[in-house]
Amino acid sequence: MSGAVAAHAAYNGSGTQGLAVTNKIHDDDGDVMSVFWNKSETTRQLLYGSSIVEIPSSGASNLSYGSSRLFTVNNDIDCLGDMYLQLTANFPTYAPLAGTFATATIGSPTIVIPMASVSGDVITITNHGFATGDAVTYGDGGDTALGGLSDGGVYYVIRISDQQIKLARTQAESNPTATVIPLGGPGNNSQTFSLTKIVIPMASVSGDVITSTNHGFANGDPVRYDAEGGTALGGITDGAVYYVIRLNDNTFSLASTLAKSNPTTPTPETLSGPGNNSQTFQKEVVIPMASVSGDVITITNHGFLIGDAVTYGDGGGTALGGITDGNVYYVIRISDNTFSLASSFSNANPTATSITLSGSGNNAQTLREPTVELAVNAKPFALQSIVERVEIQVGTQIWQTLENEDIRVVNSTEMSADGFAEISALSSPAGDGASTNTAWLVIPSLTKTLGPTFGKFSNQTEDGYPMAAAPHQSVKIKVYFTEMPDTLSYLATTVSSSASTVVQFAEKVPLEGTITPFSLSSEFENAASKGLPFGPKTGGSITSCNLYAKQQIMCNEEREQMKAMSMGLPKRLKLTQNSYTSDLGLSDTKTIDLDHFSLFASHLIISGDAGLGVRLKSAELKLNSSSYSGQLPGVLLDSCTADSIGIYSNKYIYGSSSFDVQEFGIGTYVFPLAATAFGGSCVPLNRFDSIRLILKFTSTPKTGASTHVNVTCVGETTALFKGGAASLAMY
């Protein structure tokens, strides 16, 4: 038998399904003898070679969440083997929406109060950051408490300076009696107090809509535009006042008059050009003459706090007596609707009812605002989850669709422990994933390379898709990227006051959250019980995506012999099929319809996410209503069955100091259908009219966008290579 015919015999459906042929070591000199040549020949033929090549991409060069990338395999590759996807990306970040948590402060640090910092009723803390009226919780650090205070008690700050505070028992008692600027004369109807400027980068302007996260503007607010010396935003005038048309917490448009900002029938200004990255809008509170009475200014819902710095503007008219155009003053807040002014922050500081302190406590005691740390963290395999699915197209037909979870679970059963641990770690960035990370994914399509892993050297085979037998058809791989929503919401949860709570988002994203309370306010607990909104998203990009593949090189005899076969060349290929179920119902049992499965099936892989702590208790497969193997315990499918058919059972374990170490989701369970993976005892599922998988969980699955069960059917089908083209058959 010639070498080419011998190699071709490997494709006849009864042999190794690969390209390899047997080599021998010559007894005399130890040289390698191949069936492709012998020692009497002067010209030796190439058996085959193998290398990794990059698959070129086509289509749009820009990548983004929600887009896709197409790769086309060059037709000069003889045989296509395993494929490897390289992905570099970072996730968008999401911040809590302003005003969500009332008096709860997000992520404030604990401030330690050494004994030496207490003198009488005054506590000295460098740059403490507290404002008058702030609620703080005292902690004694497990030692002697500061006299007059109780461990865990809530008190209210009386701010003396940037470095010193006193404490009051109630917020009312911290209210100031301060040094008020005497005002004389009403000024004019155009005078204003200006608040903090909001910078509007060029990228924040789209059409007539301006985006500024948590801008704080209300509909009709007057704002002054300042180009800050750069190119002005087209359509409006540098230095002019416009009126806000509020679209939501993060976006607004502009009107030229207050009447045109009417939310029912708004008339926005037409903007053109992005302006510059330093331009600002500055909110102004207009003070009509009638609003001034003595030293008191009345503005409905003015929004000022004690000590707020404001800049007075006379609007080009008569200035309000006692204060000067352009000068900064400090608010003495009287009520939601009234305030007076002080000439300095210290003059606005209260002389209030402070708590009488005694002793100095201890060096571990603390003051903390009612705080809750809200963290958005990347889930395990988060980078891999950016790939929503991969399609393998031969000619005009899609031969295989690999969903995201198919890729993960097939790799977990076919890669070595070290290899799987490596790609798992690369796919699971630390923290929120906002920094740029690179992951590698093995695309488990068409080829099965378990032989080199489990067999001896003499039994190793190579396996792949023989493109040389179908040179007239293109092979394309299309990678789809998941979309990231503009906002996120924690699912409603009960927050523990003593431990971190891991919660899921209502949206289907590769992110999860932790709520770590240090002290809770009733407002926050109420908000958490209803679900906590985050957003809008900022940043996030897919930097690069490249595909590499193993190619195997044939000799000319092999190529010509395959193309010359009158009856064609049948070859078995590994494929997967998928069932994804997001509705798990309201009980601990779920029956999944698998009627569309039609492979010569080797095994099923069950995975998913039913909520924290929920695992698979048992599984039963019914074919035409008859039980295939009875109820198999989840622990058995999780630990033993993969090894029984010669594949792996890799796990990815993750955790932190905040919560128990756990396996991702419900786990990964292998339900065997054959004595050996891809062996002759596989089950031809296309012969059955009814295929049902009955799953029982350890408890009722949680509801949410991430809740699901994925069943991956792994098996084979037959492709017929004939007349320079390939088509899928059954088996």
Q: How does DSSP assign 555-581, residue by residue? A: -HHHHHHHHH-TT-EEEEEEEEEEEEE
d(CA 353, CA 125): 20
Q: What is the number of other CB atoms lying within 10 angstroms of the CB of residue 691?
A: 24
| Mean model confidence pLDDT for the chain | 74
- Position 349 scores a pLDDT of 57
Q: Is residue 582 part of a domain?
A: yes
Lowest-confidence region among 335-349, 367-381, 386-400, 481-495:
367-381
Looking at residues 422-428, what average pLDDT do you find? 85
Q: Say yes or no to pLDDT of 110 above 90.
A: no
Looking at residues 69-82, what average pLDDT do you find? 88
Positive/negative CA dihedral, 567, 572, 573, 575: positive
- Position 21 scores a pLDDT of 42
Q: Pick the more confident residue, 638 or 214.
A: 638
Contact, 713 vs 597, CB < 8 A?
Answer: yes
Lowest-confidence region among 66-75, 237-246, 272-281, 564-573:
272-281
Task: Give, in order, the Cα–Cα distances in Å from 682 to each of 79, 460, 598.
Answer: 26, 22, 12
Q: Say yes or no to pLDDT of 558 above 90.
A: no
Contact, 597 vs 582, CB < 8 A?
Answer: no
- Position 367 scores a pLDDT of 45
Looking at residues 349-354, what average pLDDT do you find? 47
pLDDT tens-digit map of 178-232 = 443 344 444 444 444 444 445 566 557 788 888 877 666 778 877 778 777 778 8
d(CA 154, CA 135): 6
262 and 294 part of one domain: yes
Q: Is residue 640 part of a domain?
A: yes
561 and 659 part of one domain: yes
437 and 583 part of one domain: yes
Q: Is residue 525 part of a domain?
A: no
325: amino acid identity, one letter:
D
Number of structural domains (the chain) is 3
CATH number at residue 80: 2.70.9.10
User: What percent of the chain lies above the pLDDT cut of 90?
Assistant: 19
- The CA-based angle 509-513-515, given to 5 degrees, is 160
Pairing of strands 366-368, 111-112: antiparallel
pLDDT tens-digit map of 571-602 = 888 899 999 998 888 889 999 999 999 999 99
427: amino acid identity, one letter:
S
Q: Is residue 185 part of a domain?
A: no
Q: Is residue 266 part of a domain?
A: yes
Q: Is residue 71 part of a domain?
A: yes
Q: Say yes or no to pLDDT of 622 above 80.
A: yes
- Position 14 scores a pLDDT of 35
d(CA 373, CA 578): 39
Tokens, residue 104: 């709860």
Pairing of strands 105-106, 371-378: parallel
d(CA 345, CA 330): 6
312 and 323 part of one domain: yes
Task: Give, in order, the Cα–Cα distances in Å from 77 to each of 281, 322, 465, 477, 562.
Answer: 60, 86, 10, 15, 15
- Position 626 scores a pLDDT of 95
136 and 59 part of one domain: no
Q: Is residue 518 part of a domain?
A: no
pLDDT tens-digit map of 433-479 = 778 889 988 898 877 654 444 443 344 455 688 888 888 889 999 99
146-155 contacts, C-beta under 8 A, 24 or more apart: 146/113, 146/118, 146/357, 146/359, 146/360, 146/361, 146/365, 147/357, 147/358, 147/359, 147/361, 148/355, 148/356, 148/357, 148/358, 149/355, 149/357, 149/361, 152/519, 154/370, 154/519, 155/355
Lowest-confidence region among 261-265, 502-506, 572-576:
502-506
Q: Pick the more confident residue, 156 or 44.
A: 156
pLDDT tens-digit map of 273-316 = 777 776 777 766 566 655 677 777 777 766 666 666 666 666 66
pLDDT tens-digit map of 692-707 = 999 999 998 877 667 8
201 and 318 part of one domain: yes
Residue in 2, 9, 141 with CA at minimum distance from that of residue 570: 9
Q: How far apart are the first and last CA of the chain?
A: 28
Lowest-confidence region among 18-22, 416-420, 572-576:
18-22
**For tokens 């100031």, what's the residue?**
176
Residue in 621, 569, 566, 612 with CA at minimum distance from that of residue 592: 621
- Position 140 scores a pLDDT of 67
CATH number at residue 117: 2.40.30
136 and 211 part of one domain: no
- H/E run at residue 550: strand 541-553
283 and 260 part of one domain: yes
134 and 275 part of one domain: no
Contact, 371 vs 107, CB < 8 A?
Answer: yes
Given 340, 368, 396, the domain boundary residue is 368
Q: Say yes or no to pLDDT of 127 above 70.
A: no
In the sheet with 475-481, reading across from the earlier edge strand, the strands are: 57-58, 68-72, 475-481, 387-394, 397-403
460 and 396 part of one domain: yes
- Position 316 scores a pLDDT of 65
Model confidence band, residue 36 (pLDDT cutoffs 50, 70, 90): very low
Q: How many helices (H) and strands (E) does the chain have?
A: 10, 50
- Position 113 scores a pLDDT of 54
- H/E run at residue 406: helix 404-414
d(CA 271, CA 279): 14
* Domain coverage including residue 171: 109-177+351-368
Helix (H, G, I), strand (E, B) or coil at 539: coil
Q: Is residue 97 part of a domain?
A: no
Task: Give, in order, the Cα–Cα distances in Å from 683 to each of 600, 673, 677, 731.
Answer: 5, 6, 11, 11
447 and 322 part of one domain: no
260 and 218 part of one domain: yes
Tokens, residue 255: 């009107």
- H/E run at residue 661: strand 659-663
Q: Say yes or no to pLDDT of 684 above 90.
A: yes
Given 368, 400, 416, the domain boundary residue is 368
Tokens, residue 649: 């059972």
d(CA 381, CA 708): 16
Q: Pick the more confident residue, 267 or 560.
A: 267
Model confidence band, residue 532 (pLDDT cutoffs 50, 70, 90): low
Task: Give, in order, the Cα–Cα distances in Å from 419 to each of 269, 411, 554.
Answer: 58, 9, 29
Residue in 306, 39, 299, 288 with CA at minimum distance from that of residue 171: 306
Task: Give, in order, the Cα–Cα distances in Å from 479 to each of 8, 46, 280, 635.
Answer: 33, 35, 41, 34
Q: Say yes or no to pLDDT of 20 above 60.
A: no
- Position 432 scores a pLDDT of 72
Q: Say yes or no to pLDDT of 116 above 60.
A: no
